[in-house]
Structure formats: C-alpha cells, structure tokens
A = this chain, B = another copy of it.
Amino acid sequence: MTTSRDPFDIEDQGMRELWARWQPGPVVDVNDKDDGKKKNGAAFSLADFDPSAKPFSKGDKPDNKVLVQQIAEQLDPLQQLFYADRRFKLLVILQGLDTSGKDGTARSVFGEMSPLGVRSVSWKAPTELEKAHDYLWRIHQQTPGAGEIVIFNRSHYEDVLVPVVNRWITPEQQQERYGHINQFERLLADTGTVILKFMLHISKEEQRLRLQERLDDPSKHWKFDMGDIDVRKQWDEYQRAYGQLLPATHTPWAPWTIVPADSKTHRNLMIATLTRAVMDNLKLKFPEGNPQLAKFKVQ
C-alpha cells in the first residue's frame, strides 16, 4: 500500500468498533491458502445481520436526512482535494439484490461531487467481446486512475454470485475465483487504490414492497424487469452465495461492509459516514505551492 497509514484504520475509535460489527468477521489470512475456503463454513450467515437496523443513526429520520445531505456536500471539496493530491484512487463497490438501493446510493451520497472527478459504472451482462476474455478484463479497464473516484454499481462479484446460484461453476472454480478476485484487488490496493465494498442488505419483505411499488406506479415501470421476479425466486440461494462470498473476499486491503438497507436514509448515512471517514484518513493535501509562482504577477 502506498499509504503511510491503513486507510481503513479510522481515528474515531467508537466508529471503528461500530464498523467492525458490520463486517463479515476477521479478514482473510492470505498466507493460509485454505483460509478463504474455511471462511465459507457455517460460521458466517447474513441472517445474523438485521436489515432494518440503524447502527449509524444520529436521531430521527429528518435529522438523518439533513446529515446525509451535509456529508454529501462535504464529500464534494474532499473529492476536489483527492483529485489534486493524486496519490490515491478510490473504488467504491456497491453490491446488493434488486431494489437494494445501489442507484439511490450513487445519487444521494456521491451526487454532490463533480462529474469531472467521479465516474459511475453500471455492470450488465457481458458482451461477446468481453466474454472472449477473462471475467476481470472488462473490470480492470474501468478501475480508477490517479485522483479519480469510480463507483461500481454491481461488479466482478456478480461473476461469482450468478454462476454459483445457477450452478454454472464447480465449488473448485468458485474458490479459484475468490482467489483471482482477492489477488486482483491486492494489485489495485498495492498501487494506490482504496477499495470500499458495500453490500446493501435488505429483507425479503422490503424487496417485495419495493418491487410492488415499481409495478403500481407506471412512471417506475422502466426500472422493472420481469427477470427480477425470477431472481427473487432464488432469494435463499443468493443469501447463501453472499454468505460464502463475503467472508472469503474480506481482505485487509479491500474489506466488506454489510449495510442494513431497509431504511434508505440510514443506508445513505452509513455509506456517507464511512466514506468520509476513510477519505479523511488519507490525510489528503494539495501539492506544495511553487514560491516562484506565488511571486509572479500576471501582466
């Protein structure tokens, strides 16, 4: 890591401890080649995390809404500083089932930043050209450059989740992909990328309400896809696949955060709070001024 300090080791001890409770256990020990596999055991279950919890709440809903807006506005100058500093790259990965709020998070939390320095990538099914290459080929192309912030709406994690749920790959291939992904993210982190991975965790009932809402409002039909109903039928399989994936890819250089997301306001608040804390922790600074320039008078 090119950082002088661990970007995830945030200074506020209370927040650090709170954050740890919303992570999928201890990070993977990469020197133990079977550790990822062990972590797929029964020890971890998404069901132990309450999707309606509000651990980062600071009051009632209106209070929290004001706070989200405040932090989003603070992220704007932080992004400018991040761009000027250029020592880092920031990759924010938003994962979660349909209606879990990936689009809404991108808009509410990162929407105040200048589009010059932040870029959002929504991953869909791969094209023929993309399928002719390894599954990280298209992902690598879209990773952030120096000073850039990139938001992934879905990500390479779909390349393990979907094949696992649909049994297109063997358990050995599943483990192999965790290894590929951990090593790929390590390369990114070693070369200055701060990786924040948020799993937006909603309840089955909340998803039902949100899908029904899309059906009841014709102006929301464009967001609805009959395929979402088929995926909803695989709810339990997806919970299990996430239960395996999260601990196996929870690394020191790219930790996961499980975000209780039944409340949209709380979801935004938690992601905004943690993003700001991590960015603050980078000790960003404008490059040194040039004394010659400071004396120069434009004629």
Say how far A68's CB is from chain B's closest CB, in angstroms: 31
Interface residues of A in 119-148 (CB under 8 A from B): 129, 131-137, 140-141, 143, 145-148
A to B CB contacts below 8 Å, 23 in the list: A89-B133, A132-B146, A132-B147, A132-B148, A133-B145, A133-B146, A133-B191, A134-B188, A134-B190, A134-B191, A134-B192, A134-B193, A136-B140, A136-B187, A137-B141, A140-B140, A140-B141, A176-B190, A180-B187, A183-B183, A183-B184, A183-B187, A184-B187
Besides A134-B187, A137-B141, A180-B183, 18 other A-B contacts (C-beta < 8 A)? A131-B146, A132-B146, A133-B145, A133-B146, A134-B143, A134-B188, A134-B190, A134-B191, A134-B192, A136-B140, A137-B140, A137-B143, A140-B140, A140-B141, A141-B141, A176-B190, A183-B183, A183-B186
Q: Mark A14-33, 1 if CB is under 8 A from B, else 0.
A: 00000000000000000101
Q: Contacts of A148 on B, CB cut-off 8 Å?
A: 132
* Other-chain residue from B134, B145, B190 in contact with A180 (beta carbon distance below 8 A): B190
| Most chain B beta-carbon contacts within 10 A, residue among A133, A143, A186 | A133
For A131, list chain B residues within 8 Å (CB).
146
Q: What are the residues of chain B within 8 A of A33 when measuring CB–CB?
A: 31
Question: Which residues of A168-196 have CB atoms within 8 Å of chain B's CB atoms?
Answer: 176, 180, 183-184, 186-188, 190-193
Chain B residues near A137 (CB, 8 Å)? 140-141, 143
With A and B bound together, what is the CA distance between A89 and B133 in angstroms?
Answer: 9
Nearest chain B residue, comparing its CB with the CB of A2: B173
Shortest CB distance A119–B (Å): 13
Q: How far, in Å, is A88 (CB) from chain B's closest CB?
A: 11
Q: Give the nearest-CB partner of A33 in chain B.
A: B31
In the bound complex, CA of A180 to CA of B133 (Å): 19
Give, as a whole number of angstroms, the nearest-CB distance from A112 to chain B. 24
CA distance A89 to B148 in the complex (A): 32
**A275-B192 Cα distance, complex, nearest whole Å:** 38
In the complex, the answer to whether A135 meets B183 with C-beta atoms within 8 Å is no
